Amino acid sequence: MTSTDGETKTFNVNVGLTVMEIGRDELMGIEGICGGCLSCATCHVIVDPDWFERTGKISDDEDEMLDMAAERTPTSRLGCQVKMTDDLDGLTVTVPDEI
């Protein structure tokens, strides 16, 4: 995960944690103000294009909330909606400057 100040860190995490929880708890610049209930977009991350498909389908609610993110990109996700699985071992995301 790359933070807003350009620092890149790698984490060993438990399956089931969300990207928001990881980035918030590891002080990578993710706030996660709403706790994951899709009402804040302060968990916006930009997923590396090589990983984007594996993060799953974006729900209509997530899509609407992402539209409120200032720096939305084609590989943007809300970190609270991406749960770590064995298939996401190696997932690479960047926290945009907006947060």
91 binds ligand FES (CB under 6 A): no
Task: Please choose, out of 5-13, 38-46, 50-58, 86-94, the segment that lies near ligand FES by the rule CB under 6 A.
Answer: 38-46
| 59-78 footprint of ligand FES as x/- string (CB under 6 A) | ------x------------x
CA-to-CA dists, residue 46 to 49, 95, angstroms? 9, 6
Residue 93 engages ligand FES in binding (rule: CB under 6 A): no
CB 82 within 8 A of CB 26: no
Size of residue set near ligand FES by CB under 6 A: 14
Query: What does the alpha-carbon distance between residue 54 and residue 99 come to, in Å, rounded to a whole number?
Result: 24
